[in-house]
Chain A
């Protein structure tokens, strides 16, 4: 497998095979990220295509201080926000209230019914495929700010500080959004697996 640095060098030299390799690896992920901002699938596709145009035009200026992926995501997020007319948008975060459902707990704050460990079958291949598919659909239904953070942190695997930079949010707000998103997904999985 060719490293990204080599691919970028080939890209600068006008090699369209290198470009195709990067498009294969990243275009669907750009669409997914853009969609968490603009919500509309067709608009997200346009944003992703615009991102590539900006990449090709800006390639000379890319100094490799961030990873190529982070640079790509940065362009994509800015394009998506521009499309929305919210260039300086800060993600709305409602810091009030817990993420977990208050009904899970009694007046002392203890669980009203026991939390059953999920069956070991979650490691089973078919079961894992089902769970991943369910998680995907729940993420698509999350409120946009939660969706953006969950995609960048848990789906793409970026670090907390990378995500804070990309979305221009504080660590604390990022964590609130991530926690709410994860709590919702876990609840959906728990229902699917027979828990309350």
Chain B
């Protein structure tokens, strides 16, 4: 495999745009290699990737708003009405 076939090295501005595809495992093996090789040499992009991971984890901890008791009662009434038919 020649260097030319691997393409040019990624710059940071390109690497940050690949983060979501990387985390989804949606890069070709070649893109993935370029991305990981950039990360090895770039503390900034490594920090950025880690921040994205924390961002995603935080989103997974969001609780929905509380259910209002009168809405809950209404829905249960609706269920009873429907089920009688």
A28-B67, A32-B65 given; 8 more Cβ-contact pairs under 8 Å: A24-B72, A49-B75, A98-B16, A102-B13, A104-B13, A139-B59, A185-B55, A186-B51
Out of B52, B72, B80, B83, which one reaches A27, CB within 8 Å? B72
- Interface set of B (CB-CB < 8 Å, partner A): 11-14, 16-17, 19-21, 24, 26, 43-45, 47-48, 50-52, 54-56, 58-62, 64-67, 71-72, 74-76, 78-80, 82-83
- Is B11 a contact partner of A110 (Cβ separation < 8 A)? yes
Contact (Cβ within 8 A) A179 B19 = yes
* Smallest CB gap from B84: residue in A: A14
> How many of A's residues come within 8 Å of B, CB to CB?
54
Q: How many A-B residue pairs lie within 8 Å, measured between CB atoms?
A: 136
Inter-subunit contact B67/A57 (CB<8 Å): no
Q: Known interface pairs A114-B44, A115-B47, A182-B55. Does A135 touch B62 (Cβ–Cβ under 8 Å)?
A: yes
Inter-chain contacts of A155 with B (CB < 8 A): 59-60, 62
Residues of A within 8 A of B24 (CB): 160, 175
Across the interface, which residues of A come within 8 angstroms of B52, CB to CB?
182, 186
The one of A20, A24, A98, A178 in contact with B13, judged by C-beta atoms closer than 8 angstroms, is: A98
